[in-house]
Amino acid sequence: MVFKRMLRAFGVGGPTVDTVLSNASTRPGLTLAGQVDITGGDHEVEIDQITVALVTRVEMETDDEEYDGTVEFHRVPVCGELRLAAGQQLSLPFEIDVPWETPVTDMYGQRLPGMTMGLRTKIWVRGAIDPGDLDDVHVYPLPVQERILEAFAALGLPFTGADLEHGQLAGLPQTMPFYQEIEYASAPQYPGVSQVELTFVADPHGVTVVLEFDKKAGLFTPGHDAYGHYRVEHTAAESIDWIALVDSWLRQSLEQRHALLGGYGGGHGGHHGGHEDGGSGMGGVLAGAAGGALAGFAAGMVAEEVFDVIGGDDEEDEPEEEESEE
């Protein structure tokens, strides 16, 4: 939804601003392009700079409580100093790179419950900052991420939600101050596991997959968390039997149970793009998985309290540009 807003920093009679995105849908590693349209008010004003930034909602913990905070994680300038005459109209184009670690917010045209993402326009004037405009953004998964999400659905793990956690994952080349957790309940073929949390850390070459398993407490064993991390290259998206691979990741966690009870805390050996298990016949299976994942996301959908000024949940076109693979 595109809307026009009078800049509060200038008061009544000041300029108005529209931020118009060419396509509000994107993927990690791609871009968002658009323009900031400004129309002068009834008097001349001076602007120091205009910026656009990606913002999202992150769960943060303090000593006393846990709360959701809005975090700006990537900002670029649109223009520097300019003088806007009364009634003058300017259209300022911009392009913002979407960081590789940007969390996934949408799949199959639907928002993942718990996820929010927006592009905030700020107008910097002498002695004041006006937030300007805030537009909804849709981040779709990379091909490798999408195949893994489809495999979780095909294996029967029910999707339960997603959120962003403030902090760093130990031992990984993470650049963001937060990470995404996509949460699933377990399935009958994985006894002893009550919950699986999936995290992606992407870069230009591939995706590191982090799995956290919440182990059920037994009569003679305490409950605990276990971790595994794996590496898959972008070029492997169409060449791997993803259902078999994800199943092997989950089963490895069960095989390591006794070691984990002794304080296991490291990752398993990495899986790379050279995984030899072929993908014959996977097209139909993954198509079914896609439907299953969509049903899972829809079933988990609840009313979300998102940014007050983000528009409605109008369905957006998926990004048209294909990712470049190195």
pLDDT digits (tens, 9 = 90+) for 175-231: 999 999 999 998 999 887 788 999 999 999 999 999 988 754 443 333 345 567 899
Provide the token pair at 143. Answer: 């091909």
Q: What is the pLDDT of residue 59?
A: 85
Question: Does any domain span residue 107?
Answer: yes
For the residues of 78-108, what is the DSSP string, one character each? EE--EEE-TT-EEEEEEEEE--TTPPP-EET
Q: Looking at the structure, tell me whether residues 114 and 184 fall in a common domain.
A: no
Residue 24 lies in a domain: yes
Whether residues 30 and 134 share a domain: the answer is yes
pTM summary value: 0.77
Is 51 found in the same domain as 178? no
Asked whether residue 71 falls in the same domain as residue 159, the answer is: no
For residue 147, give the 3-state DSSP assignment: helix
Q: Where are the beta strands (DSSP E) in the chain?
A: 5-6, 16-21, 25-26, 31-39, 45-47, 49-61, 66-79, 82-84, 89-97, 106-107, 110-111, 117-125, 128-136, 138-139, 159-166, 178-185, 193-202, 206-215, 224-233
The answer to the question of residue 304 being in a domain is: no
Closest CA to 206 of 169, 168, 182, 173: 173
Counting beta carbons within 10 angstroms of the beta carbon of residue 324, is it exposed (0 to 12), middle (13 to 18) or buried (19 or more)?
A: exposed
Q: Are both 207 and 268 inside the same structural domain?
A: yes
Query: Which of 67, 71, 69 has the alpha carbon at shortest distance from 53?
Result: 71
Domain count, the chain: 2
Confidence band of 273 (pLDDT split at 50, 70, 90) = very low
Residue 152 above 50 pLDDT? yes
